[in-house]
Amino acid sequence: MNGRDWQIGRILGIPIKVHVSWFLVFGFVTWSLATGYLPEALPGLSVGRYWVMGSVASLLLFGSVLLHELGHSYVALRYRVPIGQITLFVFGGIAQMHREPPGPRAEFLIAIAGPLVSFTLGGLLLGLASVADAQGLQGLIVLGFLLGSVNLQLGLFNLIPGFPLDGGRVLRAGLWAWSGDFYRATRQASLAGQGFGLGLGLLGAVLLVGAISGTIPGPVAANGGWIALIGLFLFGAARSSRRQAALRASLTRMVVGDLMVRNVVTIPSELTVEDAVSRYFLQHGFDGFPVQEDGRLVGMLAVSDVQTLPRSLWAWRRVRDIMQPWSASVEVSPDTPAFTALEQMLREGESRLGVVQDGRLVGLVTRSSIGRFLQLHGLRR
Ligand SMILES: [Zn+2]
């Protein structure tokens, strides 16, 4: 969703962004309120008033979704789970957590906070609207009932127990607490999400077909369309969560020793770049080599290092002049979890790491070797 988000401010230190798709919802909701709901609930006002009230209601609806997400974010921050941003888009909002919750209890409380905010808001608005004196306040009362019931629906919808919806997170928290296995719980809760997504999709399709063929009243068609879209969206999000959990689980089980390339070719540091290119890069076809000097590892030489040196200097510079010196950031041990190695590569911007055991180079692990492993296990398309 990057690049199409428009930042509108910061709350609790979190950037609040609006995705372009949200403007579609704003337009649609304002239009349907101004031309359908409001003229029916409050007859006799001018067309302009309906549109103003419709826009105000849409903005307040936006505020309701934002408060829901802030509910999640507030509790997440209490558990030191950083929130990258809150984005409002066509199907609601997302508070992007930068880390998984530290435990099932935190997961449960973070997940339930959003619906709790929505239920509280909904209850308050409906309560106020029903006790308000009707004299001259009809407009506010209608808006209060409308927003109150929207908030209740928001809370209820999000409690559907399919990951990544809030109810699915509650389910995951329970499964996590029960089995102690975070990834397994994620896979199971996501599977439930796929099931509910499929169910909603089918329900929406049935409503849509019924409305089109005339067996179900017309206005249901729009709802059918929305329900089907939300179902598809939930199905897709749940499926990718399930795949990701499977991938992370298999990566946490694998160690570098399972994935590393064992026949490592090293380059002597005193070789000229010219010779390194013709005798190593072209001969072996690798993108990078560890560099040795007197039997010690002293650096790593990659194609990119050679590329930065003008061709005319290749015969005059030695490998040691242009290599990256050896450091802890390019080194792992055979027992390092593959996932940690991958994170290290991404963090340090390295595409290969030397695998060192008892001070001796025993292998090389590359981004492409991890990629190949994932591909062979059907974890990457
Ligand atoms: Zn939520």
Taking 90 as the threshold, does the pLDDT of residue 168 lie above it? Answer: yes
Looking at the domain that runs over 257-376, which CATH code has it been given? 3.10.580.10
Query: pLDDT tens digit string along 47-68?
Result: 888 898 889 888 888 899 999 9
Query: pLDDT tens digit string along 63-117?
Result: 999 999 999 999 999 998 888 888 887 667 888 887 888 899 999 999 999 999 9
Region(s) of the chain under CATH 3.10.580.10 = 257-376
Confidence of residue 226 (pLDDT cuts 50, 70, 90): confident
CB 256 within 8 A of CB 365: yes
At 6, phi and psi to the nearest 5?
-120, 115
Q: How many other C-beta atoms can be found within 10 angstroms of the C-beta atom of residue 107?
A: 24
Rounded to whole angstroms, the Cα distance separating 73 from 279 reads: 56
- What does the buried/exposed string (b/e) look like for 251-273 if buried means 16 or more CB atoms within 10 Å of the residue's CB? beebbbbebbeeeeebbbbebbb
Distance in Å, CA 164 to ligand 1 centroid: 9
Active site residue 69: yes
Rounded to whole angstroms, the Cα distance separating 32 from 35 reads: 5
In this structure, which residues have their CB less than 5 angstroms from ion ligand 1? 114, 158, 166
Higher pLDDT, 354 or 134: 354
Higher pLDDT, 202 or 138: 202
Taking 50 as the threshold, does the pLDDT of residue 1 lie above it? Answer: no
Taking 90 as the threshold, does the pLDDT of residue 343 lie above it? Answer: no
Q: Residue for token digits 């690049």?
A: 3
CB 250 within 8 A of CB 337: no
CA 350 to chain centre: 24
pLDDT in the model for residue 134? 63
pLDDT in the model for residue 75? 94
- Percent of the residues in the chain that have a pLDDT greater than 90, as a whole number: 37
Distance in Å, CA 167 to ligand 1 centroid: 8
Confidence of residue 138 (pLDDT cuts 50, 70, 90): confident
Among candidate residues 40, 69, 107, 350, the one labeled active-site is 69
Distance in Å, CA 224 to ligand 1 centroid: 22
Q: Residue for token digits 């072209």?
A: 282
CB 263 within 8 A of CB 285: no
Distance in Å, CA 155 to ligand 1 centroid: 8
Distance in Å, CA 113 to ligand 1 centroid: 8
pLDDT in the model for residue 235? 93
